[in-house]
Amino acid sequence: MGLDQAGRLLAWYDAHGRDLPWRVKGHATGARQEPYFVWLSEIMLQQTTVAAVRDYFRNFVALWPTVEALAAAELDDVLRAWAGLGYYARARNLHACARAVVDRHGGRFPAEIDALLALPGIGPYTAAAIAAIAFDQPHAAVDGNVERVISRYYCIEEPLPDSKPLIRARAQSLVPLRRAGDFAQAMMDLGATLCTPKSPNCLICPWTEDCVARARGIAAELPRKAAKKPVPTRRGHAYWITRPDGAVLLRRRPEKGLLGGMMEVPSGDWAAKLPDAAFPFPANWRKTAGKVTHTFTHFHLELTVWVAELDEVSLAGARWVGREQLHTEALPTVMRKVVAHALGEG
């Protein structure tokens, strides 16, 4: 069963596969993908779209064309280049993984799943994707697109996430012994371009004849998902501190935890109930109008922004940054919103 399906999908991929900056042209010729590019793109694509990643990938490769170059880079430079992609622990793990590949494997990514899983920031999906795409090993790389394709193809009606083990097993059963890497990318492309979340284009799908959900008329309803829990809201304060010369005080967040190691406009704790403002220094503080809002994966955030001007102060982990240099700092998106809000106030 798997070989017939694989052959049809690979023929479709050869004709219609997406043109992506981390892919090697000439799929059918057996051309191998660069492991560094595969790994870098897969880490960037976690929780992010292809459209958002293209320019970041090109920028990273221009700055650090090899894993050795990335390993030798300063972490702050990597965080700056990553700023805006979100989920900043990925950037820290990216840097740590590059160093581990150099230190443990002489600058060459291992092809074995167990060795890949031992590297920082590489989980089961990423390990399978690297092994398949870069080394043509017969592993199923099951991301959200592939979950959708397999759920429909086999008409798996059990809701996610409980259906994940069955989906992975079904996906693995389809992987061909040859061109496993192309097959993995073809599955991703099929989900991204034809077997989309809404209004799947079944008429031109290479698997339409065998798709059980299409035959039953419920393709667009799958995969089913368990009811989502309400997303909570947290609240807090941010403190925009400037000097008379216009410089702004930024602080590095703790290494561990949300936005670990990133720079921030100094802020306090975030809680369900707005805490009392805990001003870092005595000053003539002024509360700005409105709030800064941002949504993380598991909660919404509302920040009240306070502004003050001080001649010269010091704060642990903080430093003064010229206003014209703010755009070069490794500020996460929520803090860029705080900057824009504060600048808009005055």
Q: Where are the domains of the chain?
A: 2-221, 233-345
The span from the CA of 171 to the CA of 152, in Å, is 12
CB atoms within 10 A of CB 22: 21
Task: Out of 42, 147, 264, 329, pick the active-site residue.
Answer: 42
Question: Residue 1 has what pLDDT?
Answer: 40
42 is catalytic: yes
Q: Report helix, strand or coil for 231.
A: coil
Q: Report helix, strand or coil for 121.
A: coil
Per-residue pLDDT 10s for the chain (346 aa) are 445 889 999 999 999 999 999 998 655 555 678 999 999 999 999 988 999 999 999 999 999 999 999 999 999 999 999 988 888 889 999 999 999 999 999 999 999 999 999 999 999 999 999 999 999 999 999 999 999 999 999 999 999 999 999 999 999 999 999 999 999 999 999 999 999 999 999 999 999 999 999 999 999 999 999 988 899 999 999 999 999 999 999 999 988 888 888 899 999 999 999 999 999 999 999 999 999 999 998 999 999 999 999 988 888 889 999 999 998 888 999 999 999 999 986 4
Q: What is the percent of the chain where pLDDT is above 70?
A: 97
Q: Phi first, then psi: what are they for 217, rounded to 5°? A: 75, 25
Radius of gyration of the chain (CA): 24
Domain 233-345: CATH superfamily, name plus number: Nucleoside Triphosphate Pyrophosphohydrolase (3.90.79.10)
**DSSP category for residue 327:** G
The span from the CA of 1 to the CA of 18, in Å, is 26
Q: Residue 139, CB half-sphere, CA atoms under 13 Å: how many?
A: 21
Q: Are 301 and 233 in contact (CB under 8 A)?
A: yes
The CATH class given to the 2-221 domain equals: mainly alpha
- pTM of the full structure: 0.82
Q: Which run of H or E residues covers position 308?
A: strand 300-309
- Check if 2-221 and 233-345 are the same fold: no
Question: Residue 339 has what pLDDT?
Answer: 96
pLDDT digits (tens, 9 = 90+) for 11-65: 999 999 999 999 986 555 556 789 999 999 999 999 889 999 999 999 999 999 9
